[in-house]
Amino acid sequence: MKYSKEDKPERAGGAGAGGRAVPVALLVIVLCAFSFYLGGVYSTGRSLLDSIQPAPTLLALGTTATQQSSALVQPAPSTTATALAAVSFPECPADFQDYTPCTDPRLWRRYGNYRLSFMERHCPPPPERQQCLVPPPKGYKPPIRWPKSKDQCWYRNVPYDWINSQKSNQHWLAKDGDRFRFPGGGTMFPNGVGAYVDAMRALIPGMRDGTVRTALDTGCGVASWGGDLLARGILTVSLAPRDNHEAQAQKADLDRLKKMLAAMCFKLYNIKGDIAVWQKSPDATACYDKLTPITTPAKCDDSVDPDAAWYVPMRPCVTAPSARYKKLGLNATPKWPQRLTVAPERINVVPGSSAGAFKQDDAKWKLRAKHYKTLLPALGTDKIRNVMDMNTVYGGFAASIIKDPVWVMNVVSSYGPNSLGVVYDRGLIGVNHDWCEAFSTYPRTYDLLHLDGLFTEESHRCEMKFVLLEMDRILRPTGYGIIRESTYFLDSVAAIAKGMRWSCERRNPENKTDKDKILICQKKLWAGKQ
């Protein structure tokens, strides 16, 4: 039956629009209340601001609820974060001495075998994070200093006899009394790494004149290749995957490799013996134009930023060079060391960046590094070799200490403007990372950790204690920390650092008008309970 607007019947039990409004309003209120309830129940990530209050989660671990309650104090009005009550962390079990949270072999069974995905990063959720101090091996002592450390290390610092027994025939490591020695041999260079690099330099003139500055070494063993290149002015990122270190390539594999490289717009540059050098074509427009989404290899589409690297799945396709870059090729890049101080072309695509900002940043870090050396005299000496700048922008701190006997791992935030390309264009090395997660390295890797406003930048995303515990994990005993932060966070950082058995001193910045303060810390060497 049809009705007009005037005589259309109302729904049963209804009273028109006014009658429908009441249940709709009630439904909205109920849904809102339910959503707040779910948020309270399932919220696991608290902000860093929560972590700096005198909450039970950051009081002395192991105390009872009554003791924790009695320790709570009412904060006085202040322009700084509330200082924590006494914080302490227990020691992790002895078998955690090589604990790597996001690449933990003990958890591999949880994940699938497809493309060896179990070996990828799988970080524990907040409820499963360890809140303890990773112990050093029994008998650990400060590492041998550079440059002797390039050829030897203390056996007790890496007490694994299986390495010596399984790799002795490959001549890249040998146990000698209380030390491991690195003879400079290996699967790929039986005549020594020096002779191997000499042969490569003969094939690649750019390795001799500053054209080649950065290198990537996959399957590096003990990084003998990278260590030799370092003395020749080439900085290497050495990756040690979990494999059997055996040369198993067959002729069929090499033939397929040649075809694939040619299809990817590489050309055979030089060859001698078992060393073949392939060069990415500097002007491959015609080659890339032949690639399509259906060729083999395929051409990547534009849906994914080619510079995105943090938790971005690998794709079996080739990324064509961007038309907006004209000076990215080695033939257009200044040679080392000139490239260190020249604003790269890619600076213009980083939000908020420019050539002028680059120069200001460079000048700022020269002043800061000079001041740091007055606060920490060990910086610039053989006491500090492995350095990490935990939240760099352009690699300014690394550039300012380039003449010191150090190498610097630059870390660019995965949640900020991606300036990692600028770091590499300068001839430095680095990675993207999110400090709300653990870093992919073994414990006791670095001699010095430097951060500049990290907690201020990440205060809305993760708890301060987890970041500091990760810093403790990757810092060597007797290693140092330079923590540059706003006064709002500094007291809380100092309280947690004390609970990690660090000794810290507060210092003023180089500029008296700067509102930030500096903590100079040193991690103590302590023996774990065996």
* Banded model confidence at residue 43, pLDDT cuts 50, 70, 90: very low
| Residue 33 confidence (pLDDT) | 61
Does residue 284 form part of some domain?
yes
| Residue 344 confidence (pLDDT) | 95
Report pLDDT digits (tens) over 272-301. 988 999 999 876 677 888 888 888 889 888
> For residues 466 and 493, is the Cβ–Cβ distance under 8 A?
no
Quick one: which of 401, 409, 410 has its CA closest to 378?
Answer: 401
**The two three-digit tokens of residue 37, written as one number:** 């309830």
277 SS3 class? strand
| Residue 282 confidence (pLDDT) | 72
Does residue 256 form part of some domain?
yes
Does residue 141 form part of some domain?
no
Query: Would the pLDDT of 25 be above 50?
Result: yes
Phi, psi of 166 (to 5 degrees): -85, -25
Mean pLDDT value of segment 153-170: 78
Domain hosting 294: range is 249-321
Does residue 330 form part of some domain?
no
**Total structural domains in the chain?**
1
Lowest mean pLDDT among 36-45, 332-341, 371-380: 36-45
> For residues 348 and 328, is the Cβ–Cβ distance under 8 A?
no
| Residue 10 confidence (pLDDT) | 40
Locus of tokens 């191997």: 196
Does residue 516 form part of some domain?
no
Mean pLDDT value of segment 363-367: 98
* Banded model confidence at residue 415, pLDDT cuts 50, 70, 90: very high
Report pLDDT digits (tens) over 188-212. 777 888 999 999 999 999 999 999 9
Strands 516-523 and 174-176: unpaired
Distance CA 118, CA 98 (A): 18
Q: What is the DSSP string of 340-360?
A: GGSPPGGGGGSTT--HHHHHH
Query: Would the pLDDT of 70 be above 60?
Result: no
3-state helix, strand, coil in the chain (%, to 5): 35, 15, 50
Query: Would the pLDDT of 330 be above 50?
Result: yes
Phi, psi of 381 (to 5 degrees): -110, 180
- Express as a percent the part of the chain with pLDDT over 70: 79
Does residue 290 form part of some domain?
yes
* Banded model confidence at residue 84, pLDDT cuts 50, 70, 90: low
385 SS3 class? coil
Phi, psi of 416 (to 5 degrees): -115, -175
Report pLDDT digits (tens) over 110-157. 887 887 888 889 999 888 999 999 999 999 999 999 999 999 999 999
Q: What angle do CA 344, 349, 354 make, to 5 degrees?
A: 60
Distance CA 368, CA 510 (A): 6
Cis peptide before 136 (omega within 30 of 0): no
Q: What residue type is 452 in one-letter code?
A: D
Phi, psi of 439 (to 5 degrees): -85, 145
467 SS3 class? helix
Mean pLDDT value of segment 376-389: 98
> For residues 149 and 143, is the Cβ–Cβ distance under 8 A?
yes
Quick one: which of 213, 206, 231, 209 has its CA closest to 399?
Answer: 213
**The two three-digit tokens of residue 412, written as one number:** 């660019």
Locus of tokens 């990063």: 121
214 contact partners, CB below 8 Å, separation of at least 6: 234, 235, 236, 237, 424, 427, 428, 429
Does residue 396 form part of some domain?
no
407 contact partners, CB below 8 Å, separation of at least 6: 230, 235, 385, 386, 387, 429
Strands of 179-319 (E only): list them: 179-181, 214-218, 235-239, 266-272, 275-280, 298-299, 317-318
Quick one: which of 270, 282, 283 has its CA closest to 207?
Answer: 270
Mean pLDDT value of segment 159-172: 70
Locus of tokens 């990773």: 134
Mean pLDDT value of segment 37-65: 36
What angle separates helix 464-474 from helix 487-499, to the nearest 10 degrees? 50
